[in-house]
Amino acid sequence: MFLILPKEDFNAQALRTLTRELIVNVVLKPVLDLVSDPDFLNQNLVWLYKDTPIKPELLALTVRYSECMEELEATRESVSKEISILRSNDSKGNKLMLILLYELCRNYLILQESSIPP
């Protein structure tokens, strides 16, 4: 604030306090709230990596080591939708890889369900 305010204004304690509070509450706090919001971070990560292809091996490893049944179920549903889209377009694409990934998810879901004690 010393660099921004004229010397006579900087010497006024009330003006310094008011300016400081305005800067903190109007600028810094909203910016920090935005940057620390998980949705904001996730959306920016998706935007940054949207053109980066995912290696099938990496995706298979992620599924293999996932312990969350909800994640596996969501992945399986998402892969199932993608397979349906490819079939409807009669596209060869990565259909085989998607089918393998779907089966991998299904098998790990069955495995995790069977390992949960009743």
Q: What is the pLDDT of residues 90-102, one digit of tens each?
A: 655 556 667 777 7
Number of domains in the chain: 2
Range of the domain at 28: 7-46
Q: Is residue 78 part of a domain?
A: yes
- Average pLDDT of the segment spanning 1-21: 77
Co-location of 86 and 40 in the same domain: no
Co-location of 41 and 70 in the same domain: no
Co-location of 74 and 39 in the same domain: no
The answer to whether residues 82 and 41 touch, using CB atoms and an 8 Å cutoff, is no
User: How far is the C-alpha of 29 from the C-alpha of 20, rounded, in Å?
Assistant: 12
Q: How far is CA 117 from CA 86, 112, 113, 114, in A?
A: 38, 10, 9, 8
Q: Is residue 83 part of a domain?
A: yes
Co-location of 80 and 110 in the same domain: yes
Q: Rounded mean pLDDT of the chain?
A: 79
- Average pLDDT of the segment spanning 46-64: 78
Co-location of 57 and 111 in the same domain: yes
